[in-house]
């Protein structure tokens, strides 16, 4: 089995002119080493000063691209994700100007950052201390950024997702899943990076548990066309036993989202800094559109597992702090 590293080639933008680092046969199994989303600017010994100096143009470095033999425009490739291994640590941060509450002048809480949390990870869990609370999250690793070359010329930011895939941050793109991507150029030019060890749907502060990793995968070639990516995955069993759901209501979907997230932050802020609660929501709380049609209000739910709080007494206190 061939092993490829970010040192062989990586990029933080999309372009059809990127030179492939290798040619891959359909169904060939390979291992791809990826850097964390900071491109190695943050390490397990970093502090918030490191985050303040981070070069945002280097984010989400993706190892590749890989030329898929016999792939032609109009085809589809299916990326079979077999295994994701972490490197023993990860980080979560609030980057000024980025995230759900960036630029929100109505806030009475300090959520603008910068802030940084380092996690220590093993095969099953990632752990960190948030104020007075010990947090233990079950690892559920996935590929945050994965995509193919766009079909048009130019150089495009890697941050927003597009029809070529990219920074989708969809946590079902993990072990056992199959991601289908449309092919726009000869060879497809597949790249991947930005692995997350855990993330809440929504990734509200802008980061999850960002981590360097190794991904084992193969690529199947399908001679039919699709317009945008989709994912096949197995039924996911609940990995926690106890949850709380924070509701947010508004005639604006983003405002309803903010209300749900702020309710979680307020409930946890007696036990940690509001910025820490914001980061915790980003890595552990799933946002759901619970109701979309009962106008004029939308209902957004923020679903948080309480099992991540290791101290049962603190867990019960947090329940009573919900307003």
Going by DSSP bridges, is the β-strand pair 22-24/115-121 parallel, antiparallel, or unpaired? Answer: unpaired
pLDDT at 301 over 80: yes
Domains parsed from the chain with CATH numbers? 2-229 (2.60.120.580), 243-320 (3.10.28.20)
Residue-wise pLDDT for 237-273, tens only, equals 778 999 999 999 999 999 999 999 999 999 999 999 9
CA distance 236 to 238: 7
Residue-wise pLDDT for 175-226, tens only, equals 999 999 999 999 999 999 999 999 999 999 999 999 999 999 999 999 999 9
Give the 3-state DSSP-derived string for the chain, with helices as H, strands as E and coil as C: CEEECHHHCEECEECCCCCCCEEECCCCEEEEEECCCCCCCCCCCCCHHHHHCCCHHHCCCEEEEEEECCCCCCCEEEEEEEEEEECCEEEEEECCCCCCCCCCCCCCCCCCCCEEEEEEECCCEEEEEECCEEEEEECCCEEEEEECCCCCCCCEECCCCECCEEECCCCCCECCCEEEEECCCCCCCEEEEEEECCCCCCCCCCCCCECCEEEEEEEEEECCCCCCCEEECCCCCCCCCCEEEEEEEECCHHHHHHHHHHHHHHHHCCCCCHHHHHHHHHHHCEEEEEECCCCCCEEEEEEEECCCECCHHHHHHHHHCCC
Percent of the chain with pLDDT over 90: 92
Supply the pTM of this predicted model.
0.96
pLDDT for res 237: 72
- Please say whether the dihedral angle defined by the alpha carbons of residues 239, 31, 210 and 96, taken in this order, is positive or negative: negative
Residue-wise pLDDT for 61-71, tens only, equals 999 999 999 99
pLDDT band at 323 (very low <50, low <70, confident <90, very high): confident
Contact by Cβ (8 Å): 68, 24: yes
Region of 55 please: left (phi>0), alpha (psi -120 to 50) or beta: beta
pLDDT for res 108: 84
Neighbouring CB atoms inside 10 A of 28's CB total 15
CA distance 279 to 268: 11
């Amino acid at each position: 089995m061939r092993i490829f590293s970010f040192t062989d080639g990586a990029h933080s933008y999309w372009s059809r002119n990127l030179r492939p680092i290798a040619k891959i046969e359909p169904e060939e199994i390979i291992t791809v080493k990826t850097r964390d989303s900071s491109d190695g600017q943050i390490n397990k010994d970093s502090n918030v000063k490191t985050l303040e100096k981070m070069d945002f143009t280097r984010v989400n470095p993706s190892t590749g691209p890989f030329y898929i033999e016999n792939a032609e425009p109009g085809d589809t490739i299916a990326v079979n994700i077999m295994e994701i291994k972490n490197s023993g640590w990860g980080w979560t941060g609030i980057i000024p100007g980025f995230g759900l509450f960036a630029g929100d002048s109505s806030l009475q809480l300090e959520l603008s950052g910068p802030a940084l949390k380092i996690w220590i990870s093993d095969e099953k869990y990632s752990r960190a201390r948030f104020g007075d609370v010990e947090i233990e999250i079950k690892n559920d690793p996935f590929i945050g950024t994965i995509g193919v070359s766009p079909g048009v010329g130019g150089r495009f930011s890697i941050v927003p997702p597009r029809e070529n895939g990219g920074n989708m941050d969809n946590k079902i793109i993990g072990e056992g899943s199959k991601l289908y991507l449309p092919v726009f150029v000869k060879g497809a030019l597949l790249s991947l990076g930005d692995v997350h060890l855990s993330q809440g749907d929504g990734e509200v502060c802008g980061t999850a548990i960002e981590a360097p990793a190794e991904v084992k995968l193969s690529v199947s070639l399908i001679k039919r066309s699709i317009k945008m990516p989709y994912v096949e995955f197995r039924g996911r069993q609940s990995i926690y036993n106890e949850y709380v759901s924070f509701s947010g209501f508004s005639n604006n979907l983003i405002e309803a989202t903010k209300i749900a997230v702020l309710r979680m932050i307020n409930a946890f802020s007696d036990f940690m800094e509001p910025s820490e609660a914001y980061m915790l929501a980003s890595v552990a709380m799933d946002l759901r559109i619970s109701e979309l049609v009962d106008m004029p209000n939308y209902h957004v739910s923020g679903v948080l597992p309480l099992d991540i709080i290791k101290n049962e007494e603190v867990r019960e206190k947090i329940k009573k702090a919900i307003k």
